[in-house]
A and B are shown apart, each in its own frame.
Chain A
């Protein structure tokens, strides 16, 4: 039987690391095949080998049953292999059609034939149900739409084997649903798909078969109908996975965060938080659910003193911190795990040790009279690295060279160790693998048990449902409803997130 893609016994070594060790991947014609593994397991390396970016040290690649040597991405494209990148490679100022034809433009008498381009794009879009407007500029369309443009780019180049690299990382729940439908339709039209992911839910919703790799080795290839999520998770991690549950009884204590009639403008001077009221108590995890762009980011920035409050008040421990300096708010008891960990959470070119004291470097015992006590900082860093299981060669390693999960652990270690009364966690597990997610969820629950207030903002409904004691749904800048996670489900939340209150009334 011939496979759309067959990679046999692939081995790829980098100095000091065997990224792929004897991996075999067989993708049948017309199936959605998941490539499942933790961050750093070797998924990307394997796909880069297939895409011609790396040359394997050993092993063979067969495309539609024929042995091929893929020397560069052009070879891959010629063989009909297309990649939908995680980070979109689009030009914002260009229209959808312009982006799609870029590099292979239809011509008429030597000049660009834009009308034809638009027509081709429209046809492709209709055929696969992508519903993309070829004349819109990329900067004006949503992230989900941009991803469809990426898909169209590969289709336009005639790909019949599509690699999706962590495609759902940037999508909202609804967009994920739509993407899965699109993938199914693509397969229906005879394409084959490799889905790189570390999310179990997607695999069970979309895939036919799944190849699990761990630490560069092939673990198994299984049919999805023959397995279950917890088996697959254990296969990926290599041990039994403990799904962390918020099992501590809900016992709210005094008010820690009190927001009253908050109004905030966004960067374009548009009201983005409108008369928002919210209270978080000690000993609870309050989850904020909502579609991206409904004011979550601005709300957190306002609490942290990073964005000006137009009106209303924010109190932490009865301390009015409205429009105070960030440092003062931090000292008043705020801990903050920012959404963009690389941009806002870490100084990437600082060592892990230096990052551990990013808010406390000027205080005893880390400094005295303006002089740093590097020995104390190193000692603290070593202690936190051990306590939070940060996988790093040493505390002197640059934060930049850690994996995403370990970078997040550095941030969590730093914030939790300061023992803040209020801990804000924004998308704390985005892009992380199961092991790291498990760890970070555990830490959040631990903080709750210690009687701290935890404000969790996440686009992952599962995460919100899983961890929260109360769920506040944010819609167009205010809290549309607060629900009990035990009495709600994804459907109700989904409706609330779209602005519909119970009983079908428009809010």
Chain B
């Protein structure tokens, strides 16, 4: 019996790994068809990330919001909810953190920086709480409401920037240094990348997801409600309250992801005419990471690496950077068709026996 369990675990781990390999292979085939050299392309990605500090730093920088978005999705998923609204929660978090930093620019760093980060998390929390209460009270499906909340976030932030925090270049003013996560130390270390202290926040979030879900009574409740609302109700748990709480916490993670972009990477917020895509990539990161904290970090690293490394791939191997998006899409496709992979392996191993 324990043997059987081991096998199952091994199989679940197999799907993401095989998906990544298949995605990269298919990407290579596409490159060959168009007439590029896939070996050179992948080589340039790997070399740049691992050998050039600048790209290494940029990869970690790109990981920060991706991991936070992934944690947000994974947290909700572990409690039985599908949070598609990470993108919107991230946008309002981004805006709130920047707005807070600008409005209270006179405060010292020890107060302003934590306050701005918290503002980002709080805005994300609100954006998660609204679909939560809609689901708990009126049974509005969270997939629908969170998608809609994305659009509200996109255009509300654009409106607020345009009317209250506008400066030249279709963006907010730059935040004061007292609210910035940027660090000359980290930049120097990575030869001028935009790596900032936000990675500490991301690490804390990864740890927090694990701790909340598996070490606290609230997490126990959240998971129970996620797996079986009926049994939880029979055991005396308050199902509605847990749904609201789960989406709120998920929103905090997403909002923090936005704050990292505002206070770290960019130091301001532009008027977005389209979604950043980070929130949606977060869904893929969580999916590939099997909704586990460590898995989210690993898959976040992969996606961030592909995206940053894609730039050198374009300059060194001449492969258009858009191909990276295709590869990412392929990986997600294979993860989604995990059933097929399982089936194929089942067939193969059975053949092996005979």
Task: Give chain A's interface residues, CB within 8 Å of chain B.
Answer: 15-16, 304, 306, 325-330, 336, 338, 343-350, 354, 358-359, 361-362, 367, 370-372, 374, 393-394, 397
Contacts and interface: CB of A to CB of B under 8 A. Distances in A.
Given A16-B3, A325-B238, A371-B216, 7 more contacts: A326-B233, A326-B235, A329-B236, A343-B228, A343-B231, A344-B231, A359-B236
Which of B216, B220, B234, B237 has most chain A Cβ within 10 Å?
B234
Nearest to A393: B1
A338 B231 CA distance: 9
B209 to A, nearest CB: 15
Contact of A347 (B4, B216, B227): B227
Interface in B209-252: 214-221, 223-224, 227-228, 230-238
Contacts of B228: 343, 346-349
Given A367-B217, A371-B217, A393-B2, A325 B227 contact: no
Contact of B220 (A15, A325, A326, A361): A361
A295 to B, nearest CB: 19
A394 B214 CA distance: 19
A495 B88 CA distance: 64
| CB-CB nearest 7 A-B residue pairs | A327-B236, A393-B1, A326-B236, A358-B235, A349-B227, A362-B217, A344-B234
A353 to B, nearest CB: 11
B218 to A, nearest CB: 6
B51 interface: no
Q: Which of under 10, 10 to 19, 20 to 34, or 35 or more describes the interface residues of B?
A: 20 to 34
A367 B218 CA distance: 11
Interface of B: 1-5, 214-221, 223-224, 227-228, 230-238
A336 B217 CA distance: 22
Contacts, number: 77
Given A345-B231, A349-B227, A358-B224, A15 B215 contact: no
A358 B231 contact: yes
A343 B235 contact: no
A372 B220 contact: yes
A281 B96 CA distance: 61
* Most chain A beta carbons < 10 A, residue from B218, B219, B220, B227: B220
A15 B1 CA distance: 9
Contacts of A371: 215-217
B40 to A, nearest CB: 45
Contacts of A15: 3-4
21 contacts: A15-B4, A16-B1, A16-B4, A325-B236, A325-B238, A326-B233, A329-B236, A330-B236, A338-B234, A347-B224, A347-B231, A348-B228, A358-B235, A361-B217, A362-B217, A370-B216, A372-B214, A372-B215, A372-B216, A393-B1, A393-B2
Contacts of A338: 234
Given A347-B228, A349-B228, A397 B5 contact: yes
Contacts of A304: 234
Given A344-B230, A345-B231, A372 B217 contact: yes
Contacts of A354: 220, 224
User: Chain A interface mostly helix, strand, loop or mixed?
Assistant: loop
Contacts of A397: 1, 5
A348 to B, nearest CB: 7
B227 A343 contact: no
Nearest to A374: B215
A179 B52 CA distance: 78
A330 B238 CA distance: 13
A302 to B, nearest CB: 13
Contacts of B220: 354, 361, 372
A467 to B, nearest CB: 23
Contacts of A345: 231, 234
Given A354-B220, A359-B235, A372-B220, A348 B2 contact: no
B234 to A, nearest CB: 5
A458 to B, nearest CB: 19
Contacts of B232: 347
Nearest to A354: B220
B2, B228, B237, B238: residue with the most chain A Cβ atoms closer than 10 Å: B228
Nearest to B228: A347
A185 B77 CA distance: 53
Contacts of B227: 347-350
A240 to B, nearest CB: 29
Contacts of B215: 371-372, 374
Nearest to B1: A393
B122 to A, nearest CB: 21
B226 to A, nearest CB: 9
Of A325, A328, A349, A394, the most chain B CB neighbours within 10 A belong to A349
Contacts of B1: 16, 393, 397
Question: Of B221, B223, B230, B236, which is in contact with the most chain A CB atoms at under 10 Å from its CB?
Answer: B236
Contacts of A348: 227-228
Contacts of A349: 227-228
A350 B222 CA distance: 12
Contacts of B238: 325, 327
Nearest to A338: B234
Nearest to B219: A372
B2 to A, nearest CB: 6
Contact of A306 (B2, B3, B218, B234): B234
Nearest to A366: B217
A16 B3 CA distance: 9
Nearest to B220: A361
Contacts of A367: 217
A453 to B, nearest CB: 20
A394 B6 CA distance: 13
Interface-centre pick from B5, B214, B231 (highest chain A CB count, 10 A): B231
A359 B2 CA distance: 28
A371 B217 CA distance: 6
B4 A370 contact: no
Given A347-B224, A347-B227, A397-B5, A370 B217 contact: yes
Nearest to B2: A393
A347 B224 CA distance: 6
A404 B1 CA distance: 17
